[in-house]
Amino acid sequence: MVSAMRQRVNRLAPARHCGREGQAIVAKLSKKVPEKDRDSAEAARARPLWSRPGYLVRRLHQIHQALFLEECKAFRITPVQYGLLTALSVRPGLDQVSLAAELGIDRTNVADVLARLAKRGLVRRAPSERDRRVRRAYLSEEGVRLTARMQGAMQRAQERLVAPLAPAEREQLMVLLTRLVEANNQYGRALFRPS
């Protein structure tokens, strides 16, 4: 109920530019929003970008990138590189197409990430036994060690990101994010098909 009212308020937020009648509608709806949520509804009206889920997701992604890079700076690994290392630690021998689907990025980016990690000696590639045209990727011994050593720093970045939320809210956030990704996956540049 609260979120439905908040959505109506946010949808009507531009009405403040439509004269007194629009402002009266927004004011009336704002009174129906519980006191504890009024500040966020007013903030959304004052900052229209903050009423757009896409903007907030993009901004949260930027914040996560910054937290990850801060926590993991000693390793000189990006979040995408760590994602690839993690995927290979769980499923060794994935090919470029499978890695792209696992990470939800395009094959060209996977090739670039693999090349950088191979240059650092963290992954190795070998032809498939079934189809010599296909090259499979594996963590090197150093890649295994680095991925394990990074676990704590990566986890700290995740924890810092959700620190403002109560444990139940964290679970709810993960459920909602997963639902949004699954429902909209077909619109991404690359399909995300986790194993």
Q: Please name the residue that has the structure tokens 């970008």.
A: 49
Question: CA-to-CA distance for 147 and 150, rounded, in angstroms?
Answer: 5
pLDDT at residue 133, as a whole number: 84
Domain of 102 in residue numbering reads as: 55-187
Residue-by-residue DSSP string for 70-127: HHTGGGT--HHHHHHHHHHHHSTTEEHHHHHHHHTS-HHHHHHHHHHHHHTTSEEEEE
**Is 193 inside a domain boundary?**
no
Residue 1: its pLDDT value, please? 39
Within a domain: residue 77? yes
Q: Tell me what pLDDT residue 34 has.
A: 56
Spatial distance between the Cα atoms of 93 and 60, rounded to a whole number of angstroms = 32
Assign 136 a pLDDT band (cuts: 50, 70, 90).
Answer: very high
- Which of 16-30, 91-105, 143-157, 161-175 has the lowest average pLDDT? 16-30
Q: Specify the residue for token string 């896409």.
A: 54
39 and 72 part of one domain: no
pLDDT at 143 over 60: yes
- Work out how many domains the chain is built from and give that number: 2
Per residue in 40-55, pLDDT (tens digit) is 667 667 777 878 899 9
- CATH code for the domain of 117: 1.10.10.10
| C-alpha span between 87 and 51 (Å, rounded) | 34
125 and 156: one domain? yes
For residues 124 and 46, membership in a common domain is answered with no
**pLDDT for residue 15 is more than 60:** no
Q: Is the model's pLDDT at 164 over the cut of 60? A: yes
Q: How many residues does the chain have?
A: 195
Reply yes or no on whether the pLDDT at 16 is more than 80: no
pLDDT tens sequence across 72-122: 999 999 999 999 999 999 999 999 999 998 898 888 999 999 999 999 999
User: Is 22:16 a contact under the CB 8 Å cutoff?
Assistant: yes
Last residue of a domain, one of 11, 31, 51: 51
